[in-house]
Amino acid sequence: MIRRNMKKLILLFFLTTFSVCGFGQINTKSQMQKLQFAEMAIRELYVDTVNEQQLVEDAIRGMIEKLDPHSAYTSPKQTQSLNEPLEGSFEGIGIQFNMAEDTLLIIQPVNNGPSEKVGIMAGDRIVSVDGKNIAGVKMPRENIMKMLRGKKGTKVKLGIVRRGIKDMLTFTVTRDKIPLKTLEAAYMIKPGVGYIRIGSFGAKTYDEFMTAADSLKKHGMKDIIIDLQENGGGYLQSAVEIADEFLQNHDLIVYTQGRRQDRHEYRAHSKGLMKSGKVVVLVNEYSASAAEILTGAIQDQDRGEVVGRRTFGKGLVQRPISFNDGSMMRLTVAHYYTPSGRCIQKPYKKGDSSSYAEDIEKRFKHGELYSADSIHFDNSLKYYTIRKHRTVYGGGGIMPDYFVPLDTTQYTRFHRMLVARGVIINANLKYTDNHRKELKQRYNTFADFKKNYVVPQSLIDDVVKDAEKLKIKPKDKAELQSSIPMIKLQIKALIARDLWDMSEYFEIINEQSDIVKKALTLF
């Protein structure tokens, strides 16, 4: 009772101190005092109990929502989840998995990781974790991941069901640091030409890139295709370090500038190991941020050519501001500019995040994704490359040197629905699980598989049947026939991924990529 009365006295003190026009009207000395006072008044006087932590978080989010689309606040849990892919590792048991019919199916154990070391194999099913059943109970994927992950050195007991073995197997796995790779594929796409696909830019992307490049050079790589399609960005420094390998000493890579931040330049040094040979960069409408920085540097410095479709247009610099509880605010403090002076950021209206999020859909409806003629640039947005003085345009994103339209005949409505509902992936998981041993015995090498494997019609029939159960049907026979080649290609690529790795997946999927095909004509 005494404590409650003391709180009321303090509150009354604040009310009388700040009031100038009568009880309850506040004239605070600063806007910050006003905010603090509002929080205290709600906490002490509101009719119901309030969560003070949630109250403060909601206030921060409310302020940020009125700013640009990329400033954001994340809770401690969200911050950890967002940082993991960028940091390059996490602590866990080391498996690639997917959920097949409410059961965790291991696609591949991480090479030399904790699970592989104890004998866990691709195709195994994890049915229990530390004695708790996780199969057939519709447990959320996030909860399962939480159970499998843990601090390095801790142990977890897994119940495993393995095809061909009647009894459940038990493995005790000691958790360890598990690398998270941002480089998705690297292989020789044709004699003398290497292909490297970067999925995102994390803390170790540069090291991964250089390891892959060194390996490809040993296989005769003189020219290179850098695939940044669907690359949403990440660490600026990783993109800068990779660009540095291709540019001449002191070449400008990117610069940042903001209202309270002076111009800061990132330039190349003399250490670059890939200053000769042809470079082609692949992009599309989902290539953003750090991917646009690397692309813009290569294009503006006339070091290579860009193939694909206009990039996303994220050119805002966020500064992370950490709070004591592990939460974080990422606040936009500057813009990114390419060497020619183009601002990468596309236009936006403050506080209108919904329209910003719908930009890609608007591009599709406007026709930009499948017709270069629908893209018009204002002369005020004209810039020139550094060495050859070629015309490039600002206004948001990087426009490629060679535009490749989205093939709407290849990616039919029926196919898009199959992908969205996971029908193709689930059919592949079941098929690979049932035929893994047979496929491994029949195809000793990936080269043999790539040349000779043909997706059976029975598997296509299963895809169509599974789709019907979800009420997904083609409009007519013509749409079904148009969809089948892409369905077969994806299934073959997914099987290759499950039997080998992601490089083999992209080696197959790229055979029908119009953007990759166009890039190859430039060599």
Whether 414 contacts 483, CB under 8 Å: yes
Which residue do the tokens 């990039």 mark? 311
Q: How far apart are CA 422 and CA 424, in angstroms?
A: 6
CA distance 84 to 147: 17
What tokens does 145 get? 């991941």
pLDDT at position 4: 56
Amino acid occupying residue 110: V
Task: State residue 100 phi and psi, 5-degree precision.
Answer: -115, 110
Q: Are 489 and 407 in contact (CB under 8 A)?
A: no
Question: Alpha-carbon distance 341 to 351, whole Å?
Answer: 27
Q: Among 300, 433, 466, 498, which one carries the catalytic annotation?
A: 300
Q: Which of 115, 289, 483, 503 is catalytic?
A: 289
pLDDT at position 23 is: 44
Write the DSSP string, 170-224: EEEEE-EEEE---EEEEEEEETTEEEEEE--B-TTHHHHHHHHHHHHHHTT--EE
pLDDT at 24: 52
- Regions in the chain scoring below 70 on pLDDT: 1-29, 84-89
Q: For residue 181, what are its two tokens?
A: 């790779």
Q: Does residue 314 carry a catalytic annotation?
A: yes
Cα separation, 248 vs 447, in Å, equals 38
Catalytic residue among 71, 251, 287, 314: 314
Q: Tell me which amino acid residue 262 is.
A: D
**Closest listed residue to residue 291, CA positions, set 273, 309, 271, 276:** 309
Instruction: Give pLDDT, residue 21.
Output: 45
Q: In this predicted structure, what is the pLDDT of residue 34?
A: 83
- What would the two tokens of residue 73 be? 């606040």
Q: Which long-range contacts (CB under 8 A, 24 or more apart) does 351-359 make?
A: 351/65, 351/66, 351/67, 353/65, 353/69, 356/69, 357/69, 359/313
The verdict on whether 289 is a catalytic residue reads: yes
Torsion of CA 280, 394, 315, 331, to 10 degrees: 170
